[in-house]
């Protein structure tokens, strides 16, 4: 597990441990603790990434599967070239090392950003799905799009390889929900991701189920919760901003405008959480 000390990664580690997995969290910094082992590594270094998968002294004998989440997690946190360098190199190094060591089960973090965030250009239709060409609008998102392409070609070269990319929506922890009722006052405030979110616990469930799904090939999946962050009707939100955007089917009152239908269909993703029941 790379990025296991992060906002989403720490919840994924806890979920995997709770489901009986032996987890090694690899990260540049240790922030948590628990029933897993931690290994400090800078994954921009190819040598460090490579040696991880060939055993680290007596820490573990072999790695069965990889969840790769390590990244600078958003646009604008570092200069663009630093985001590009860290994220692209990290993903290349980790994935190439894993494949070289014979590992064939990889789940990794793509991002909702490839769907066209912040939607200065109107979406092609709603609800969004995985059927249209990516529209990255930042260096961060460009790297995710390139990683999706990398996964596609690596799986083409290795027909027994599985690489499932999770296009996570904006990751939320339960303590973040306090702010949600204030979002309704201004529809522009969360328009940048079509008022979507992912509860970290549901994000973790998606990683685990994707990991357990027996398949080969590169696929990407939108991973969001089933509702929006808003009280207003989803169709009203779309109509107010983009009167001519195609709404492909009748929408439920708070239905998410990013559809996780593919993840539900392929590996049984079933989000359990909504901010509406927490508050
Ligand atoms: N947070 C979101 O809203 C969101 C949305 C969509 C996708 N994602 C993706 O999900 C993943 C996890 O996001 P998060 O919110 O938990 O981010 P985070 O920043 O909390 O966690 C990422 C972790 O990766 C580690 N890391 C970064 N570069 C590294 C390197 N070179 N070597 C080793 N460790 C390194 C960091 O130390 C950090 O602990 C990322 O790939 C991010 O791009 C996040």
**Is residue 113 a part of any domain in this protein?**
yes
**Is residue 202 a part of any domain in this protein?**
yes
Percent of the chain past pLDDT 70, that is, above it, reads 100
User: Is residue 223 lining ligand 1, measured as CB closer than 6 Å?
Assistant: no
Give per-residue pLDDT as tens, 41-53: 999 999 999 999 8
Give per-residue pLDDT as tens, 84-121: 999 999 999 999 999 999 999 999 999 999 999 999 99
CATH number of the domain at 169, please: 3.40.50.720
Ligand 1, atom 23, residue with closest C-alpha: 3
Q: What whole-number distance in Å separates Cα of residue 35 and Cα of residue 70?
A: 20
Alpha helix positions (H), 158-233: 200-212
User: Is residue 177 lining ligand 1, measured as CB closer than 6 Å?
Assistant: no
Identify whether 127 is preceded by a cis peptide bond (ω within 30 of 0). Answer: yes
Residue 270 CB-half CA count within 13 A: 1
Residue 61 pLDDT greater than 80, yes or no? no
Distance (Å) from CA 69 to ligand 1 centroid: 6
The number of folded domains in the chain is 1
pLDDT score at 186: 97
Radius of gyration for the chain, computed over Cα atoms and rounded to the nearest angstrom: 19
User: Is residue 111 lining ligand 1, measured as CB closer than 6 Å?
Assistant: yes
Give per-residue pLDDT as tens, 176-214: 999 999 999 999 999 999 999 999 999 999 999 999 999
Q: Supply φ then ψ for residue 39, to 5 degrees.
A: -130, 125
Partnered with residue 59 across adjacent β-strands are: none
**Is residue 182 a part of any domain in this protein?**
no
Helices (H) and strands (E) in the chain, counts: 8, 8
**Residue from 33, 36, 69, 263 to probe ligand 1 pocket by mutation (most atoms less than 8 Å from CB):** 69
Two structure tokens written together for 178: 């306090």
- Contact predicate 111/91, CB 8 Å: no
Q: What is the pTM of this model?
A: 0.98
Domain that holds residue 29: 9-173+196-226+257-278
Termini Cα distance of the chain: 32
Q: How confident is the model at residue 62 (pLDDT cuts 50, 70, 90)?
A: confident
Give per-residue pLDDT as tens, 3-15: 999 999 999 999 9
* Average pLDDT score over the chain: 96
**Is residue 136 a part of any domain in this protein?**
yes
Atom index in ligand 1 nearest the CA of residue 27 equals 34
pLDDT score at 279: 64
DSSP helix/strand/coil, 22: coil
- Contact predicate 257/234, CB 8 Å: yes
Maximum C-alpha span of the chain: 61
| Average pLDDT rounded to a whole number, residues 240-247 | 97
Q: What whole-number distance in Å separates Cα of residue 270 and Cα of residue 218?
A: 21
**Among positive and negative, which fits the CA dihedral 211, 275, 3, 88?**
positive
């Amino acid at each position: 597990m790379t990025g296991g000390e992060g906002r989403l990664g720490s919840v994924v580690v806890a979920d995997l441990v709770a489901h009986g997995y032996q987890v090694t969290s690899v990260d540049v910094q240790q922030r948590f603790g628990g029933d897993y082992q931690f290994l400090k590594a800078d994954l921009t270094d190819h040598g460090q990434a490579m040696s991880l998968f060939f055993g680290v002294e007596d820490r573990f004998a072999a790695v069965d599967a990889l969840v790769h989440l390590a990244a600078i997690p958003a646009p604008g946190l570092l200069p663009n070239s630093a985001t590009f360098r860290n994220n692209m190199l990290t993903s290349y190094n980790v994935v190439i090392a894993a494949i070289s060591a014979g590992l064939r089960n990889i789940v990794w973090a793509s991002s909702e950003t490839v769907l066209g965030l912040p939607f200065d250009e109107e979406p092609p239709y709603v609800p969004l799905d995985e059927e249209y060409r990516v529209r990255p609008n930042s260096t961060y998102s460009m790297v995710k799009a390139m990683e999706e392409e990398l996964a596609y070609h690596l799986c083409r070269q290795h027909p027994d390889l599985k690489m499932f990319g999770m296009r996570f929506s904006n990751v939320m922890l339960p303590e973040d929900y306090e702010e949600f009722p204030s979002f309704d006052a201004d529809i522009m405030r969360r328009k940048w991701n079509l008022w979507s979110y992912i509860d970290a616990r549901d994000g973790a469930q998606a990683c685990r189920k994707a990991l357990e799904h027996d398949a080969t090939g590169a696929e990407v999946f939108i991973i969001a919760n089933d509702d929006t962050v808003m009280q207003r009707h989803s169709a009203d939100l779309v109509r107010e901003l983009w009167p001519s955007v195609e709404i492909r089917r009748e929408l439920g009152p708070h239905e998410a405008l990013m559809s996780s239908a593919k993840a539900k269909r392929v590996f049984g993703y079933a989000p359990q959480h909504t901010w509406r029941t927490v508050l």
